[in-house]
A and B are shown apart, each in its own frame.
Chain A
């Protein structure tokens, strides 16, 4: 059977028994949602890369030490670790360090721009930055639920468990988050499809 057809649970079991390719498949399958979530939580691509690496190193250590509980679903478990890592980061630094160029723009966002379709990418980059800024302007409780549902792809039940609230509270926060975001997007006259 191809690795792409194997469930997360089976990949985890095979990895613990020595199949390194299974870890690669798990990362490939979920890296986008996990990294986007971390990136939005810490609001810094460079730090997000560090936390992404540290999160998976912790995942590897936990799996190899046999401490992973099989009843935990993979992504919610990884997101719980990532969220704790991000909280630790904020505790240690007590502030977010932005490295900026002469014009005050985040230097790392510029490094990602390729030569091809440069103008298109700059416009897309500016729009993404604007929406990202709006997400960061949400109250923390709403922002957390939005990130965990929209980007980490956790169910409302899983979000309720991680954030220690009822499902109805998680749903309510998501409703407010989307309503507020929509209002802000329209106010800022950003493009809506």
Chain B
């Protein structure tokens, strides 16, 4: 395929936004293009730092939602 690989494509690759053929082309380019490889590594490092911020809602919030759903089951079923 004829894909010009820039930092934007590398970003899409890091976030799993590429087609299989694009992924293959980017991997090949990363093997030989040191500047892009360096960009890839820097952005991966930043992404990993951001991954640590993930949090879960309190279990009570989830239970409130499930209770609402169960208690409104009959009344909303007839809509």
Binding site for B on A (CB under 8 A): 18, 20, 23-24, 27, 31-33, 35-36, 39-40, 45, 48-49, 52-53, 56-57, 60-61, 64-66, 124, 127-128, 131-132, 135, 146, 149-151, 155-156, 168, 171-172, 174-175, 178, 181-182, 185, 190-193
Q: Which residues does chain B contribute within 8 Å of A146, judged by CB atoms?
A: 50
Q: Which of A27, A32, A156 contacts B55 (CB 8 A)?
A: A32
Can you list the 8 inter-chain pairs with the closest CB atoms, starting with the nearest?
A: A64-B76, A35-B57, A56-B65, A182-B46, A49-B61, A36-B54, A52-B57, A60-B69
Which residues from 48 to 70 on chain B have a C-beta closer than 8 Å to any C-beta of chain A?
48-58, 60-62, 64-66, 68-70
Interface set of B (CB-CB < 8 Å, partner A): 7-8, 11-12, 15, 17, 42-43, 45-58, 60-62, 64-66, 68-70, 72-73, 76-77, 79
A27 to B56, CA, bound (A): 11
Min CB distance B48 to A, Å, is 5
Who on chain B is nearest to A171 by CB?
B8
The residue on B at minimum CB distance from A28 is B62
| Given contacts A20-B70, A32-B55, A66-B79, A150 and B47 within 8 Å (CB-CB) | yes
Kindly list 6 other residue pairs between chains A and B, CB separation below 8 angstroms, not including A60-B69, A190-B49.
Answer: A18-B73, A60-B72, A131-B50, A155-B17, A185-B49, A191-B49
- CB contacts (< 8 Å) of A124 on chain B: these are 52
The answer to whether B79 touches A23 (Cβ under 8 A) is no
Instruction: Tell me the nearest residue of chain A to B66, going by C-beta.
Output: A24
CB contact between A31 and one of B15, B56, B64, B72 (< 8 Å): that residue: B56
Task: Provide the bound-state CA to CA distance between A172 and B45, in Å.
Answer: 19
| Nearest chain B residue, comparing its CB with the CB of A34 | B57
Bound-state CA distance A20–B72 (Å) is 11
Q: Cβ of A175 and Cβ of B50 under 8 Å apart?
A: no
From residue A75, how far is it (CB to closest CB) to chain B in Å? 14
Residues from chain B with Cβ under 8 Å of A178 in the complex: 11, 43, 46-47
Can you list 15 A-B contacts with CB-CB less than 8 angstroms, sorted by A residue number? A18-B73, A27-B62, A40-B53, A45-B55, A49-B61, A52-B61, A53-B65, A60-B72, A128-B53, A131-B50, A151-B54, A155-B17, A171-B11, A178-B43, A182-B46
